[in-house]
Amino acid sequence: MKRSIAQVDSVCLGMSEHDLDKDACQSLDAQLSGFIGDRHGSFERETWSGGDKQVEGTIRRNERQWSAVSTEELAEITLAMDLKEPLTAGSLGANLCFSGAPNLSHLPKGSILRFPSGAELMVEEYNPPCLAMGEKLAAIHRTNSGIKLLDRAFSMAAKCRRGVVGVIEVPGIINAGDEVAVIPYRSPTWLGKV
């Protein structure tokens, strides 16, 4: 992957612990503990079953302070699911949506997203689609063909397209409409070929 410039199409905050959605806003205040006011902000989190290396309920470092998707990948998921209405970053519980980042989900760990304010987000991992989100989407979305969505339709359509999660590396403000420098991680040259 090469360094590129994308644009922030939308920014979202989720304050409710019981709702998977996030609401669109004008800007996000990125602090080292996460986005101010977002439910995923914290230095630590509790693990859940099926997605973590540790036993469910273990307190661990929060590597999921933020999540991001791309408009291009959202369009691919919407098409694969045959949805009447397009998916949005907020409906998937993502904080950020970028255009001009068609392979966002493939960014390696350690990649940096740099914003005009100086804020930097570091990618920790790919964000796999979960069954709870699939169930929510199946309950509220309709298909163009009229066929009822299966609960697992999202998991199948969003595989390798669900975006990324990470931590805040440098604090700052992120606005809808900002440019973002997408800087893929590269191993240091002094390591040589391993």
What band does 15 get if pLDDT is binned at 50, 70 and 90? confident
Residue 109 has which token pair? 């760990």
Taking the whole predicted model, whether its pTM rises above 0.75 is answered as: yes
Residue 190, Cα to own-chain centre: how many angstroms?
Answer: 32
Of 148, 176, 33, 164, residue with least CA distance to 109: 164
Q: What CA–CA distances, in Å, run from 182 to 18, 122, 131?
A: 32, 10, 29
**Confidence (pLDDT) at 56:** 75
Please state, rounded to an integer, the average pLDDT across all residues of the chain: 92
* Region 4-188: CATH code: 2.40.33.20
pLDDT at residue 29 is higher than 90 = yes
pLDDT at residue 93 is higher than 70 = yes
What band does 17 get if pLDDT is binned at 50, 70 and 90? low
Domain edges within the chain = 4-188
Over residues 32-71, the pLDDT tens digits come to 999 999 988 887 777 767 666 778 787 877 888 999 999 9
Over residues 104-124, the pLDDT tens digits come to 999 999 999 999 999 999 999
**Confidence (pLDDT) at 59:** 80
Lookup result for tokens 């302070």: 65
